[in-house]
Amino acid sequence: MLTIKARPKYVNNAYFNYLKDDTRVQIFFGGASSGKSYFIAQRIVADTVQGRNTLVLRNVARTLRGSCWNEIVKAISKVPYKQWFTISKTEMIITATNNGAQILFAGLDDVEKIKSITPANGVLTDVWVEEATETSYDDYKQLEKRLRGESRHKKRITLSFNPVYKEHWIYEEFFKGWADDDTSYQDEHLSILKTTYKDNRFLTADDIYALENETDEYYRAVYTEGQWGTLGDVIFRNWRVEDLSEFSKSADKLYFGLDFGFSSDPCAVVKLHYDKAHKRIYILDEIYERGLTNTALAPILKEFVGNHYVTCDSAEPKSIKELQNMGIRAIGAKKGPDSIMHGIQWLQGHEIIIDTRCQNLRNEFQLYQWRKDKNGNSLRVPEDKNQHGIDGIRYALESESTARYAGTLNLKGL
C-alpha cells in the first residue's frame, strides 16, 4: 500500500490530524467557509490511491455536480499524483489507476441506485454525506448497512454540514454530551470536529468581512459562529418529508404557483396536489433558479406545468403577460388585504407533506420565522425572507384558501 505524505501548507491546521482518523462515524460541522468540505475532498483523494472506495452522497442527486464533485476534482488537480486518476464526467465515477479504487457519486433521492452501487474492485469502505442535515434518520441507518464486506481498511461514514436546529435527529443522535463551547469530541466510535471561518486560512478578506458583518441573529449564530440554533418562532411546524415519487404518478388534480425572482431572490415554482377531504397538501416538485429572464423561464415552465394554469405573483403583470404570450397559462394571484396572513393561517390548518426532492422548500419551512422587535419579542408579522417557494404555495392554492369567502359573496349576490 502506498504511503501518501501530506504537506501541512496545503491542509488547514484544524483538520490535519484527521487525515488518518479511522473512527467509524465522523462529523465535521460548523460555520460557512470553514473549509470542511474541501478537507474531506482532499482526504478522499489521498485515501483512494491507498485503496479506499468512497460513495459520495447528497440528498438530491442533481446538486452533486456543483458541490462535492467539483471539490474532489479540484483537490485532484492540486496533488502531485493527479495522473493516477481517470475522471468520467458523464458517469460521475473517478478511478485510481494504480489500484482500481473508485469514488462514486449518487443522490439519496434514488434509493434503488444506492442499493445497487458497487465499486469495481473490493467493497465500499467509506460514505461521505455532504449537507447531512438534509437527510433523514432512516437514510442514515440504510447507509450504515451499505458498509459491509471484508476489507483491510476500517469502514467509515462521514457527515458534514452547517448546523441547523437542536431538534434535528443528528443533534439528538450524536450530540448528547456536547456543550456549545466545545470544538471537538472523540471516543471509540465517534469523532466530532466543529470549525468556523477562523479555521480556514485560505479565505479572502472579502469572505471574512461578509461573515463577520452578518446582522441577522440566526444566520450569524449558525453560519458565522457555527452554533446549533433552535426552532424558535418558526411559522410552520405542521409538515413532514416523504418520498412522493409514486404518489405523484397518480395525483389527479394539480396546482402550480410561481414567485418571480431574478438575481438575489430565486424564481420559485411549485407543483402540488391538494386533498381537501383530509386537509393535506402534497408538495410534489419545485423549480428554484436565479438569473432567468422570462424568455429563458418559459420553456422550463412549459415542461414543468404542461397545459395547467400557474398562479403567479400579481406584482409583476408585465412578466405574466410575457409568459402568456409565450404559451404559458399564467394568471395573477388576487392577493388583497391581509392575504399573506390569511394564507399562512390557512396553510397552518393543514398537514403539509413535502417530497424528498424539494430541498429548497424543506429549507424554507425550517427557516421561515416571525419578525422580532428590538427587544427580541415576536411580532405577528413574517420575516420577508426564506419564503419564495412558500409564497408560490399560497398563490397556487389561493382559489381553495379563499373559497369560503367567495361562497359568502355569492350568497349575498343571490
- Asked if residue 413 has pLDDT above 50, the reply is no
Count structural domains, the chain: 2
| Cβ proximity of 113 and 64 under 8 Å | no
Give the global pTM.
Answer: 0.69
- Asked if residue 353 has pLDDT above 90, the reply is yes
Classify residue 330 by its DSSP letter: E
Mean pLDDT of the chain: 90
Signed CA dihedral, 403, 404, 410, 414: sign only: positive
| Cβ proximity of 33 and 45 under 8 Å | no
**CATH code of the domain in which 261 resides:** 3.30.420.280
Reported as a single tens digit per residue, the pLDDT across 265-318 is 899 999 999 999 999 999 999 999 999 999 999 999 999 999 999 999 999 999
Residue after which a domain boundary falls, among 224, 258, 291: 224
d(Cα 14, Cα 314) in Å, to the nearest integer? Answer: 50
The confidence score (pLDDT) of residue 253 equals: 92
Residue after which a domain boundary falls, among 224, 253, 283: 224
pLDDT confidence tier of residue 4, bands split at 50, 70 and 90: low
Reported as a single tens digit per residue, the pLDDT across 22-58 is 999 999 999 999 999 999 999 999 999 999 999 999 9
**Residues 118 and 149 reside in one and the same domain:** yes
Reported as a single tens digit per residue, the pLDDT across 56-114 is 999 888 889 999 999 999 999 999 999 999 999 999 999 999 999 999 999 988 767 78
In a domain, 266, yes or no: yes
- Burial of 218-248, coded b for 16+ CB within 10 Å and e otherwise, reads bbbbbbbbbbbbeeeeebbeebebeebeeeb
In a domain, 267, yes or no: yes
What percent of the chain clears pLDDT 90, i.e. is strictly above it? Answer: 70
Nine cell digits for residue 34: 470553514
**Residues 340 and 254 reside in one and the same domain:** yes
The confidence score (pLDDT) of residue 411 equals: 33
Residue after which a domain boundary falls, among 224, 259, 277: 224
**Residues 167 and 274 reside in one and the same domain:** no
Using CA atoms, how far residue 145 sits from 109, 115, 155, 395, in Å, is 17, 10, 11, 42
Q: What is the domain extent for residue 245?
A: 239-413
The confidence score (pLDDT) of residue 371 equals: 84
The confidence score (pLDDT) of residue 408 equals: 37
In a domain, 16, yes or no: no
pLDDT confidence tier of residue 9, bands split at 50, 70 and 90: confident
Reported as a single tens digit per residue, the pLDDT across 173-205 is 999 889 888 999 999 999 999 999 999 999 999
